[in-house]
Structure 1
Amino acid sequence: MPITNDAPRTRARLVLILGALSGFGALTIDMYLPAMPGMAGDLHTGTLPVQLTLTVFVVGLALGQVIVGPLSDAWGRRRPLLAGLALYAAGSLWCALAPGVGWLIAGRIVQSLGAAAGAVLARAVVRDLYQGTAMTRFFSTMMVVNGAAPVVAPVIGGQLLTVATWRSVFLVLTAVGAVLLVAVVLALPESLPADRRAPAHFGATLRTFRTLVTDQRYLRYVLAAALMFAAVFAYISGSSFVLQDSYGLSAQQFSVVFGVNGLGIVLFGRVNGRLVGRVADEHTLLRVSLAVAALGSAGVLACAVTGLPLPVLLICLFLVVSMLGIVLANATSLALAGHGSAAGSASSLQGLLQFLVGSVAASAMSLSGHVTAATMGVTMMMCSVAAFTVLGGRPVRE
């Protein structure tokens, strides 16, 4: 039975489930960040292999979306989503039982391929059901749930570490995957009717992707979002080492700082929903938020170079991270607006670029072998300035 999106209770249910699915990647990344410095010793390995567990997850999350998105355009959203959630739960359990870092990396790959289904199909379902400003507002509302992942995940991870080992984090993620699988089975019907589905042919999929990569409007918004995500991902990848090793924060203190920054995503995503269509359009809000992020990134670098105190650094980090709530809601809505008939493929290409650019940024930041506040600041500033530049000054007309 297809979803109808006009009842308030149905909308609230959609927000909760789709917000949780779209926050799957962030939850899986952020919950184990406080444990990363200690995992190296427990697994008898170095810092770089532990960071590799983060990188392979992001790459798998990106590539998995390219597979799931086109399949969902042909088969509907529900079947690929159920399969992905089952795979995610299995991969999480694998990670919890991994005897060494090699097994952990393999488990993270399995886990990432399952998580990809939630990330790409949450956006596709919203595009199936909404258009225009209504779509942007729904994406903004989703940020309340989506943004809760970076708020609660490191806090939960940090608290778990006080009573158990890092393996308990992956056991919790196994349970989360199982709960979401049940929720989708019981409360998320199919959103893409059979008469709107695309042919399940490799040639048709290639033609769809060719159309997307030659669409200047689509690429402009997708690349702006991807580069902004890369700036935030540089923070995600490096902040546990910078704030704990360089500034002396404990795992619990770091989890609180990380959670406050995630709260900024929630708050500004909510503000965006209030402003869009009333005070300014999506493009204007996107441009302003990218400008604020670029200034905040410059502040992070200035703190690293001049030795400004920790509170100043934390304020600058908050400015950058919180703008993601505005950027992703508006950029995603604008990018998917012209591709309703191929929302799965359009969403998957967005996810691919977003996480691949983020992975490249994190890898480049780690080339020296040791992440510092300066390398994190340089990476964040380069990515946020590039995002602002790619967006440009005026909207591209369809």
Structure 2
Amino acid sequence: MTLPLPLLLALLSAIAPLAIDMYLPAMAQMAGSLDSDIHHVELSVSTFLLGFAIGQITGGPLSDRYGRKPIIIAGLTIFAIASLTLSMTTSLSGLLILRAIEAIGGGLATVNSTAIVRDRFEGKDIAKVLSMVAMIMMTAPLVAPMLGSLIVSFSNWRSIFMLLSVYSAFVMILLVWLLPESHPPHRRSRAKPWVGYGVVLRHKVARRFILTLACAYSGMFIFITASPYLYLDYFEQSAAQFPWLFGANVVVIMMVNRINMLLLNRFKPIDLITTGISIQVVMGCILLTLSRYFPDAFTLWTVLPLMMAYVGALGLISANSMATVLQYFRDVAGSATALIGVVQFCGGAAFGLLWGQLHDNTPVPMMAMMFLSAFCAFVALMAARYSREIYEAPAT
């Protein structure tokens, strides 16, 4: 039995969106079962993001030193055991602690999927493979809320975490069986874990591309955070319609990732990143202008395609930005990948918190923050694009 590498890595990368999105429809039921309220249960999302960041920033340098597979297996083992234990928890504190542990395991494992691509490929091929992985993996956030709703309708919320445990164990067996080690001993770093981060942070162009990607992704995190308000409250759509409105953006990202793979045959990654960021800036500007000055034109059927274009542009930005950064770092690809992920999550959290502070029951703050994040990404990209060092040979 053989499976394509992008499919194996997509199955691994899907751990995070499945763990975040699948249990969202069950939060009300969880609150009742744990004798709490839904707002306290929602804290489990934040604890998961925190734990996931810890897992990533730890797993990256560990895999540079000990190899990719041992860290993946360790992470999936932690994730599977924590998920199984979550299905038996009876308290809110137990939920929060176990979600953090579960996330640490997930971060340890999934941070290595991008590093494996860097181990095996060079140049444009990195971006092509990452686009293929993203295109397959994006089915997870598309189906996860629907799958969670289906499970809750036939069983209870505990079955969701049991399924996550089974899924992670299944992925672990597949990877043990089918995935060869991509980081051989002679390439492994023997330096202290933080040394790899220093190598990445000292590289001026890499810093700027990481910032570009983090700001671009922050716009999507703002959308994810604020979309329930926008679609359910402001546009007064039903809960049954929300997964379809939300999922439309995921479908566009999948399509654009596929288009990106074809465009890489003719264009440089830097040019495709510039196109994607420019789309975000233009769409963000239009959305902000409509929400602020033309509220009568700010309708669901006006906003939906603009949002789809804004979020879908990440299909041109994400894989190409990561490939551009990783081309400079072969021996510490795990550290570079971890740093990208942590900066993405922290940037998204910061912009999301800022939106929460500015929220005034109108869509204007949401659109303003989405435009601001895109504009910041554009500034960082221009600083990287016109830096002399971008034309220099890779650092490692």
TM-score clears 0.5: yes
Query: In the alignment, does 2:175 pair up with 1:188?
Result: no
- 1:324-363 counterparts in 2 under 5 A? 324-363=314-353
- For 1:284, the equivalent position in structure 2 comes to 271
Query: In the alignment, does 2:386 pair up with 1:397?
Result: no
Identity, in percent, stands at: 30
Alpha-carbon displacement from aligned partner over 1:320-365 (angstroms, at most 9, x marks no partner): 2212222111000000001001111111111111111112222332
Q: State the SS of the aligned residue for 1:252.
A: coil
Partners of 1:78 and 1:217 in 2: how far apart?
30
- 1:41-80 counterparts in 2 under 5 A? 43=34, 45-46=36-37, 48-80=39-71
Alpha-carbon displacement from aligned partner over 1:179-229 (angstroms, at most 9, x marks no partner): 111111111121111111111x42xx3332222111111111111111111
Partners of 1:117 and 1:189 in 2: how far apart?
18
Structure 1 331/84 Cα, relative in aligned 2: closer, same or farther at 3 Å?
Answer: same
Partners of 1:256 and 1:120 in 2: how far apart?
29
Structure 1 322/37 Cα, relative in aligned 2: closer, same or farther at 3 Å?
Answer: farther
Query: In the alignment, does 2:212 pair up with 1:224?
Result: yes
Q: CA deviation at 1:100?
A: 3.5
Structure 1 48/30 Cα, relative in aligned 2: closer, same or farther at 3 Å?
Answer: same
- For 2:230, the equivalent position in structure 1 comes to 242
Please say if residues 33 and 240 of structure 1, whose CA atoms lie closer than 8 Å, have aligned partners that are also in contact.
no
Q: CA deviation at 1:67?
A: 0.6
Q: State the SS of the aligned residue for 1:26.
A: helix
Structure 1 152/372 Cα, relative in aligned 2: closer, same or farther at 3 Å?
Answer: farther
What amino acid is aligned across from residue 397 of structure 1 in structure 2? Y
Q: CA deviation at 1:245?
A: 3.6
Q: CA deviation at 1:53?
A: 1.9
Q: CA deviation at 1:119?
A: 2.6
Query: In the alignment, does 2:376 pair up with 1:377?
Result: no
Please say if residues 359 and 365 of structure 2, whose CA atoms lie closer than 8 Å, have aligned partners that are also in contact.
no
Alpha-carbon displacement from aligned partner over 1:21-42 (angstroms, at most 9, x marks no partner): 2232222222233445665566
Structure 1 104/376 Cα, relative in aligned 2: closer, same or farther at 3 Å?
Answer: farther
What amino acid is aligned across from residue 391 of structure 2 in structure 1? R
TM-score (norm 2): 0.89
What is the CA RMSD across the aligned residues, in angstroms?
2.4
Alpha-carbon displacement from aligned partner over 1:143-189 (angstroms, at most 9, x marks no partner): 22122122222222233344344443323222221211111111112
Please say if residues 215 and 374 of structure 2, whose CA atoms lie closer than 8 Å, have aligned partners that are also in contact.
yes
Q: State the SS of the aligned residue for 1:340.
A: coil
Alpha-carbon displacement from aligned partner over 1:100-135 (angstroms, at most 9, x marks no partner): 433222122111111112331001100000000111
Structure 1 172/160 Cα, relative in aligned 2: closer, same or farther at 3 Å?
Answer: same
Q: State the SS of the aligned residue for 1:68.
A: helix
What amino acid is aligned across from residue 220 of structure 2 in structure 1? V
Partners of 1:380 and 1:34 in 2: how far apart?
26
Partners of 2:33 and 2:203 in 1: how far apart?
48
- 1:20-39 counterparts in 2 under 5 A? 20-36=11-27
- For 1:3, the equivalent position in structure 2 comes to none
- For 2:253, the equivalent position in structure 1 comes to 265
Partners of 1:364 and 1:110 in 2: how far apart?
27
Partners of 2:361 and 2:332 in 1: how far apart?
40
Structure 1 171/234 Cα, relative in aligned 2: closer, same or farther at 3 Å?
Answer: farther
Partners of 1:31 and 1:343 in 2: how far apart?
30
Query: In the alignment, does 2:89 pair up with 1:98?
Result: yes
Please say if residues 74 and 109 of structure 2, whose CA atoms lie closer than 8 Å, have aligned partners that are also in contact.
no
Please say if residues 73 and 109 of structure 2, whose CA atoms lie closer than 8 Å, have aligned partners that are also in contact.
no
What amino acid is aligned across from residue 357 of structure 2 in structure 1? L
What amino acid is aligned across from residue 207 of structure 1 in structure 2? V
Q: CA deviation at 1:235?
A: 1.6
Q: CA deviation at 1:141?
A: 1.1
Partners of 2:371 and 2:33 in 1: how far apart?
34
TM-score (norm 1): 0.89
Partners of 1:239 and 1:167 in 2: how far apart?
26
Partners of 1:366 and 1:161 in 2: how far apart?
29
Deviates more, 1:264-273 or 1:307-316: 307-316
Partners of 1:303 and 1:165 in 2: how far apart?
42
Structure 1 371/387 Cα, relative in aligned 2: closer, same or farther at 3 Å?
Answer: farther
Q: Which runs of 5+ in 2 are unaligned?
A: none
Partners of 2:226 and 2:66 in 1: how far apart?
39
Partners of 1:173 and 1:167 in 2: how far apart?
10
Partners of 1:382 and 1:186 in 2: how far apart?
46
- For 2:302, the equivalent position in structure 1 comes to 312
Give the total of aligned pairs.
385
